[in-house]
């Protein structure tokens, strides 16, 4: 492999995971990302309660991604060689954690109606509306 192109990377991943699993993972990532963007646009804010729960799921996603990759590549931690192997392991763990966090946040937002969280998060997530009247900013209470 003399050149690192997108086509080369797709071929390598198809060989590692198999054609159906690789493209299934790509499709799942696209769908979850699209739903995440839809939820953010629909809610017009980030629910910090959901965000916290999503962050708490990150270690589970990190470990699951590493175990999944080890299963696919038929390797173990004892097979780790140089620093590049450890950097790849950290990268896989990081992406697994972030991926699961996005999925958990999205599922929470889709399963709970937006109005249901508004009452519970009102004191924590509510940001008062600020409008400029002339040159003086005015905070509107209860907005």
pLDDT digits (tens, 9 = 90+) for 27-55: 999 999 999 999 989 988 888 889 999 99
130 strand-pairing partners: 139
Give residue 3's pLDDT band: very low, low, confident or very high (50, 70, 90).
confident
Give residue 23's pLDDT band: very low, low, confident or very high (50, 70, 90).
very high
* Domain limits, the chain: 6-111
Q: Rg for the chain (alpha carbons), in Å?
A: 21
Q: What is the pLDDT of residue 131?
A: 58
What does the pLDDT look like over 55-107, one tens digit per residue? 999 999 999 999 998 888 888 888 888 888 888 889 999 999 999 999 999 99
Q: What is the pLDDT of residue 1?
A: 60
Give the pTM.
Answer: 0.71
Q: What is the pLDDT of residue 105?
A: 94
Q: What is the pLDDT of residue 98?
A: 94
pLDDT at 118 over 90: no
CB 61 within 8 A of CB 128: no
CA distances from 142 to 71, 87, 118, 130, 139 (A): 53, 49, 13, 11, 9
Of 110, 125, 112, 127, the closest CA to residue 52 belongs to 125
């Amino acid at each position: 492999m003399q050149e690192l192109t997108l086509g080369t990377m797709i071929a390598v991943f198809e060989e590692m995971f198999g054609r159906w699993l690789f493209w299934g993972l790509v499709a799942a990532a696209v769908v979850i990302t699209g739903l995440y963007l839809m939820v953010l646009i629909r809610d017009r804010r980030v629910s910090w309660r959901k965000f916290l729960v999503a962050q708490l799921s990150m270690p589970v996603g990190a470990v699951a991604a590493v175990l999944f990759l080890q299963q696919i590549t038929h390797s173990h931690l004892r097979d780790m060689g140089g620093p590049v192997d450890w950097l790849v392991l950290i990268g896989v763990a990081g992406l697994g954690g972030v991926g699961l966090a996005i999925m958990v946040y999205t599922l929470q937002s889709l399963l709970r109606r937006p109005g249901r969280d508004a009452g519970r998060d009102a004191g924590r997530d509510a940001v008062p509306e600020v409008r400029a009247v002339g040159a003086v900013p005015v905070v509107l209470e209860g907005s």
